[in-house]
Amino acid sequence: MKEVLLDTETTGLSSVNDKIIEIACIEIEDHIPTGEKFHVFLNPEMEVSQGAYDTHGISKEFLKDKLKFKDVAKDFIKFIDGKKLVIHNAEFDLAFLNKELKEVGEKQISKDNIVDTLNVAREKFPGAQNSLDALCKRFKIDNSRRQKHSALLDCELLAKVYIELLEKKEPTFEFDLDAQDESIQNVKSIKDRKQIIVQITDDEKKLHKEFLQKELPKSSMLN
C-alpha cells in the first residue's frame, strides 16, 4: 500500500490569515521509500512572521521568485491522490492545505484518509512529550541536521518515526531446524547468530589444507 508522508511550513500559525510557503511529500510503499517526492517552496505574497522565520529560517526575500500555490495545486493533488497521508499534527497542516485548495477550486483533503502520528504517539506514550524532536530522541533517531524546521527533512525524520510507532522492525528469519545439519545447534532466528556453531570434520580440514598447498603457489605466481 502506498502512503505519503507530508509536512508544510507556513508564514505563521493562523490558517485564516497565514499561508503555506513549503510543501514536502515523500511516498512510501509497505513502509519503504519509493524514491518519489513532491517538494516546493511557495511565494505567499505576504510577510513571513518573525516567529515563523525563527522556526524555519525561510524569508520573504527567498520566496519572492517562487511559484504560487495555485501554480502547483493540481500537481500536488495528483501526487497524493488515492494514497493515505501520514502527518505529524495533521490538524495544523490540513487547515492550511484545505483553505488554500478551496481558494483555487480544488478538492479538499478528507480527514478519513489521514494517519496523524501525533495522535498515535499520544496513545502509545500518554503524558509524554510527543513532538517530532521528542520522538526522535525516544527512538534514538539522529535529528542533528534539524537546526531549523524544514518540511522535507521533517518528512524524512517522520518516515523513521512512523516505522517505530508501528513497530515495523526489520524482519527476522526463522530457520527450519529439521532441514539443517546436526552440526548447527540452537538456531532460532537470525538474531542468534552468535549461537551458530559449525563443526568442521577432520576430512574437511585435510581437504582444505591440500587446497591451500595446491592453489597458493599459483596465486603467488600471478602477483
Query: Has 208 been annotated as catalytic?
Result: no
Residue 156: count other Cβ atoms within 10 Å of its Cβ.
19
In the numeric block, the cell 485548495 is attached to 101
Q: Are strands 114-116 and 84-87 parallel, antiparallel or unpaired?
A: parallel
In the numeric block, the cell 504517539 is attached to 121
**Which residue among 31, 39, 149, 208 is the active-site one?**
149
Take residue 27 and report the three cell numbers written for it.
511516498
Q: Are strands 32-41 and 20-29 parallel, antiparallel or unpaired?
A: antiparallel
Residue partners of 98: CB distance under 8 A and separation at least 6: 108, 109
CA distance 73 to 86: 19
Helix (H) or strand (E) segment spanning residue 214: helix 202-222
Q: For 188, phi and psi rounded to 5 degrees?
A: -110, -35
Asked if residue 147 lies in contact with residue 157, where contact means CB atoms within 8 angstroms, the answer is no
Instruction: Kindly tell me the sign of the dihedral angle through the C-alpha atoms of 111, 115, 121, 126.
Output: positive
Length of the chain: 223
Q: Could you tell me the CA-to-CA distances from 54 to 50, 130, 147 in Å, in that order?
A: 6, 21, 11
Which positions are annotated as active-site residues? 149
